[in-house]
Chains A and B, each alone.
Chain A
Amino acid sequence: MKKKFILEGLGCANCAAKMEKAIKELDGVREASVNFITTKLIIDGEDEKMPEIIQAAEKIIKKIEPDTVMKKA
C-alpha cells in the first residue's frame, strides 16, 4: 500500500534526507521517499503494518525537525 503525506514546514534538505533514510529502515517499509521540493513523503509498505509505520514515521519527523507537521495528502 502506498500512502502520501505532505510535510508542512519542511525547511532543511539534509533533514529531509535523514527522514527518508530513517523511514526506509522501519519494519514493513518497502520504499520511502521524501521530496524536499514538493514536501511530499511517500511510503510504500505492507498493508497490515501501515498504522504502526505511520506512527513511527511521525515520530521520526518530529525528532528530526520539530516544526514539521505530517499531513495526509
Chain B
Amino acid sequence: MKKHLWRIIIGTAVFIAAIAVGSDIKWLQIALFAASYIVAGGDVVGKAARNIIRGKVFDENFLMGVATIGAFLIGEYPEGVAVMLFYQLGELFQDYAVDKSRKSIASLMDIRPDYANVKKGDELIKVDPDEVRVGDIIVIKAGEKIPLDARVIEGSSMVDTSALTGESALREVDVGSDILSGCINVNRVITAEVTKEYEESTVSRILDLVENASSKKSKSEQFITKFAGYYTPVVVLVAVFLAFVPPLVINGAAFSEWIYRALSFLVVSCPCALVISIPLSFFGGIGGASRKGVLVKGGNYLEALARTEIMVFDKTGTLTKGVFNVHEIHAEGISAEQLLELAAYAESYSNHPISASLQRAYGKEIDNRRISEVEEISGHGVSATIDGKKVLAGNIKLMDKMNIPCSREELAGTVVHVAVDNVYAGYILIADEIKADSAQAIKELKAADIRQTVMLTGDNRNVGAKVAKELGIDKVYAELLPGDKVEKLEELFSQKSARGKIAFVGDGINDAPVLARADIGIAMGGLGSDAAIEAADVVIMTDEPSKIATAIRVSKKTLRIAYQNIVFAIGIKITVLALSAFGLASMWAAIFADVGVTVIAILNSFGALNVKNL
C-alpha cells in the first residue's frame, strides 16, 4: 500500500511540473505528462495487458487503460493523467476502506478463542482449541476465554457472557455447571472437562452462522449482482456507439469530441460502488446484531425483519417466564400464612408444578408427622388430614363435589381452593410471571412500526386476555392446541400487505412447525439451546423479548443504508453518463462518479456496523 501511495505522490508531482512548464515547450510538457502517467498507471496498463492475454477483457484495468490512453491519443493529456491519478487514489482509498471494514468486522467477531490450556498429568499445555478432544481436562484462568464447551469439575468462578449475549451480565459457575465457549472467565481458576469438540462448540457454531449468513443473500444483494452483470457491458457498448456513430452521422461532428464522451463512459462503467457497499451493509448489520446477542441467519432474513408487519408471540416462555409462582392469597376466616401453610402441606406429596410453587412460596420444611391420610382425587385435587383437621385443596370442581360454597371469581391463572373441615378457607392464585421487559418490548415494536402484535397461547382465555391487556398486545388467541397455532398463523397471512412479513417468536422447542411456517421464525433463549438455534431464522441469545425490537431496528437501519447506497450510486452514475453523452460533463465528473461514489458508499455502509444506540 505504501508503494502505491509513493507512486501517486511522485506521479502527482511530475503532473504538477508538467502543468507548470506550460504548453510553450510542448515536447517537454508531453514528455512529463507521459512520465507521470507511467509512474501512476503503468501497473494498471500492465495488468490490463496480462488479462487480455488470459482472455479476460472487460475488467476495470482494461477499461481504465483504454479510457486514459484514449485521452492521450486525442490530445487530452492532463485529463488522461488526472483520471489515472484519481483512479489510483480512489483504489487506495477503497483498499483502505475495505481493509478497515474487514478489520472492524473481524473485531466484532473476536470471540474466537486462541488457545486452550490442556492438563496432561501435572503439566499444562497450550494447544489450538481444534486439537482438544471430548473428555480432555482444560484449565481456564481468570481473564481467559473459555475455549470449548465444557463442564466444571473443580473450582468456582463468575463468567461473562457478554460476547455471546450482548449483555454484560455475570453468571456464577460451580462444580457441575456447563460452561459455554466464547464466554470469559472473570475471577478464579476453573478446571473443566470438555463436553464438545471445537467444531460443535457454541463459539464455533455462532461464528459459522454469522459468516455463512452472507450466502443467503437479500433481494437487494441479488438485484445488485444482476445489475452489475448487465451494467458494464451495456455502458461499454454505448461508449463504442458514441465514439463512432455520431461523428459519422452528424455533419461536422468532431471525432475527438465524441471519443472524449465515450471515454468518460468507460470511466464510469465499473459497478464497484454497488457491488462492495451493499453486501458490506448487510454483513455489517448481521455482525452488529450478533454483537447485541441477536443472530440473524442471512441477509434475506434481515431484509424480511425490516418488512415485518405482524409480530406473533407464543406466550409461555416467550413473554412470560414459564415459571409458576404464588400471585395472590385470599384467605377467609384464617390468616394468609395459615392458608398457605395448609395448602403447601396438603399438596406436599404431589409432584405437580403447582405443588412446587406452593412449597417455594411457603419456604419452610414440611414436617411429615403433622400430615396423614393423603388422598389424591384425580382431576380435582387432594384431601389430607393436617394437625387432625381434614383439609381439601383443589380446583372449583372439588369444592362443588363436596358442596362447599366458594369464591367464583374468574382469575387469570390456576386457582387452588382450600377448605378446612368442610368450611371454605379461601384460595391461592398461582400464575406465570410476565418477563420484566415484555411490556417495553411491545411498546418498542409499535414504535418501530410493527402494525399488529398477536399472542398465541394454549393457556385459558382469562390468562391470555390478562397478559395481553397488561402488555398492550392487539390480539390474543387462547386455548390453542399445538396444531391450532399453525392454523391461526395461516389466518394472519391474509391480514398483511403483499410485501409485508409475519414473524413468529417462540422458545424454539415446542413450536418448530410455527417457526417454520412464519416468514421469519425467531427463537428466544438461544444460549446453550442447540434446538432453538437450529429451528429459527433469527435467534435471540438471551431471554429478553426487548431484543426483538433491537433486531427490528438494526434491520431497518441496515436496509435504509443499503437503499441509500443503491439510489445514490446508481443515481450519480446515470446522471453523469447522461451528462457526458451530451457533452455536459467532463472526465473529471466521470472519475468522481466512479471512485468518489465508491468511497462514499463504503463509508456510508460502515454505519450499519454501528449498533450501539439501537
A residues engaging B (CB < 8 A)? Answer: 11-17, 21, 31, 33, 35-40, 42, 63-64, 66
Q: Which chain B residues border A38 with CB–CB below 8 Å?
A: 102, 105-106, 211, 214, 283
Q: Which of B179-187, B274-282, B480-488, B577-585 lies on the face that meets chain A?
A: B274-282
Contacts A12-B272, A14-B270, A17-B275; A37 near B214 (Cβ below 8 A): yes
A63 to B, closest residue via Cβ? B54
**Contacting pair A14 B105 (CB below 8 A):** no
Query: Is B564 on the interface with A (CB-CB < 8 A)?
Result: no
22 A-B pairs in the complex with CB atoms less than 8 angstroms apart = A11-B95, A12-B60, A13-B275, A13-B276, A13-B279, A14-B60, A14-B228, A15-B59, A17-B225, A21-B225, A33-B212, A33-B215, A36-B279, A36-B280, A37-B101, A37-B102, A37-B105, A37-B279, A38-B106, A38-B214, A66-B50, A66-B54
A15 to B, closest residue via Cβ? B59
A interface, over-half SS = mixed
**Contacting pair B215 A37 (CB below 8 A):** no
Q: Report the separation of the CA atoms of residues A63 and B56 in the bound assembly, to the nearest whole angstrom.
A: 8
Q: Which chain A residues border B283 with CB–CB below 8 Å?
A: 35, 37-38
Q: Which chain B residues border A35 with CB–CB below 8 Å?
A: 211, 214-215, 279, 283
Q: Report the separation of the CA atoms of residues A11 and B579 in the bound assembly, to the nearest whole angstrom.
A: 30
Q: Which chain B residues border A64 with CB–CB below 8 Å?
A: 56
Q: Which chain B residues border A33 with CB–CB below 8 Å?
A: 212, 214-215
Query: Is B271 on the interface with A (CB-CB < 8 A)?
Result: yes
B602 to A, closest residue via Cβ? A13
Residue among A11, A13, A21, A42 having the largest count of chain B Cβ atoms under 10 Å: A13
In B236-279, the 8 Å CB interface with A consists of 270-272, 275-276, 279
Q: Which chain B residues border A37 with CB–CB below 8 Å?
A: 98, 101-102, 105, 214, 279-280, 283
A13, A39, A40, A66: the one contacting B272 at CB < 8 Å is A13
Shortest CB distance A3–B (Å): 13
B91 to A, closest residue via Cβ? A11
Q: Report the separation of the CA atoms of residues A14 and B277 in the bound assembly, to the nearest whole angstrom.
A: 11
Q: Interface 1/0s, chain B 89-113, versus A by CB < 8 A?
A: 0000001001001100110000000
Q: Which chain A residues border B95 with CB–CB below 8 Å?
A: 11
B interface, over-half SS = helix
A38 to B, closest residue via Cβ? B211
Contacts A38-B102, A39-B102; A14 near B271 (Cβ below 8 A): yes
B61 to A, closest residue via Cβ? A12
B residues engaging A (CB < 8 A)? Answer: 47, 50-51, 54-56, 59-60, 95, 98, 101-102, 105-106, 211-212, 214-215, 225, 228, 270-272, 275-276, 279-280, 283
Shortest CB distance A10–B (Å): 9
Shortest CB distance B118–A (Å): 23
Q: Report the separation of the CA atoms of residues A35 and B214 in the bound assembly, to the nearest whole angstrom.
A: 7
Residue among B59, B60, B105 having the largest count of chain A Cβ atoms under 10 Å: B59
Shortest CB distance A4–B (Å): 9
13 other A-B residue contacts (CB within 8 Å) besides A17-B275, A37-B214, A63-B54? A11-B98, A13-B272, A13-B276, A14-B60, A33-B212, A36-B280, A37-B98, A37-B105, A38-B105, A38-B283, A40-B211, A63-B56, A66-B51
Contacts A13-B272, A13-B276, A37-B279; A42 near B215 (Cβ below 8 A): yes
Nearest 8 A/B pairs, CB to CB: A33-B215, A13-B276, A13-B275, A14-B275, A35-B214, A37-B283, A17-B225, A38-B211
Q: Which chain A residues border B47 with CB–CB below 8 Å?
A: 66
Q: Which chain A residues border B212 with CB–CB below 8 Å?
A: 33, 42
Q: Which chain A residues border B214 with CB–CB below 8 Å?
A: 33, 35, 37-38
Shortest CB distance A33–B (Å): 4
Q: Report the separation of the CA atoms of residues A31 and B217 in the bound assembly, to the nearest whole angstrom.
A: 13
A39 to B, closest residue via Cβ? B102
Shortest CB distance B522–A (Å): 24
Q: Which chain A residues border B60 with CB–CB below 8 Å?
A: 12, 14
B106 to A, closest residue via Cβ? A38
Q: Report the separation of the CA atoms of residues A17 and B51 in the bound assembly, to the nearest whole angstrom.
A: 18
Shortest CB distance B267–A (Å): 16
Q: Which chain A residues border B276 with CB–CB below 8 Å?
A: 13, 36
Residue among A11, A14, A63, A64 having the largest count of chain B Cβ atoms under 10 Å: A14
Q: Which chain A residues border B55 with CB–CB below 8 Å?
A: 63
Shortest CB distance A73–B (Å): 10
B101 to A, closest residue via Cβ? A37
Q: Which chain B residues border A36 with CB–CB below 8 Å?
A: 98, 276, 279-280
Q: Which chain A residues border B211 with CB–CB below 8 Å?
A: 35, 38, 40
Q: Report the separation of the CA atoms of residues A36 and B98 in the bound assembly, to the nearest whole angstrom.
A: 9
Q: Report the separation of the CA atoms of residues A11 and B50 in the bound assembly, to the nearest whole angstrom.
A: 17
Shortest CB distance B269–A (Å): 11
Q: Report the separation of the CA atoms of residues A31 and B283 in the bound assembly, to the nearest whole angstrom.
A: 19
Shortest CB distance A19–B (Å): 12
Q: Report the separation of the CA atoms of residues A35 and B101 in the bound assembly, to the nearest whole angstrom.
A: 13
Q: Report the separation of the CA atoms of residues A16 and B588 in the bound assembly, to the nearest whole angstrom.
A: 28
Shortest CB distance A58–B (Å): 14
B59, B215, B228, B270: the one contacting A17 at CB < 8 Å is B228
Shortest CB distance A18–B (Å): 9
Q: Report the separation of the CA atoms of residues A63 and B53 in the bound assembly, to the nearest whole angstrom.
A: 11
Q: Report the separation of the CA atoms of residues A33 and B272 in the bound assembly, to the nearest whole angstrom.
A: 18
Q: Which chain B residues border A17 with CB–CB below 8 Å?
A: 225, 228, 275
Q: Which chain B residues border A15 with CB–CB below 8 Å?
A: 59
Shortest CB distance B299–A (Å): 11
Q: Which chain B residues border A13 with CB–CB below 8 Å?
A: 272, 275-276, 279
Q: Report the separation of the CA atoms of residues A48 and B187 in the bound assembly, to the nearest whole angstrom.
A: 50
Shortest CB distance A39–B (Å): 7
Q: Which chain B residues border A40 with CB–CB below 8 Å?
A: 211
Shortest CB distance A62–B (Å): 9
A2 to B, closest residue via Cβ? B212
Shortest CB distance A7–B (Å): 12
Q: Report the separation of the CA atoms of residues A13 and B98 in the bound assembly, to the nearest whole angstrom.
A: 10
**Contacting pair A31 B275 (CB below 8 A):** no
B216 to A, closest residue via Cβ? A33
**Contacting pair A31 B215 (CB below 8 A):** yes
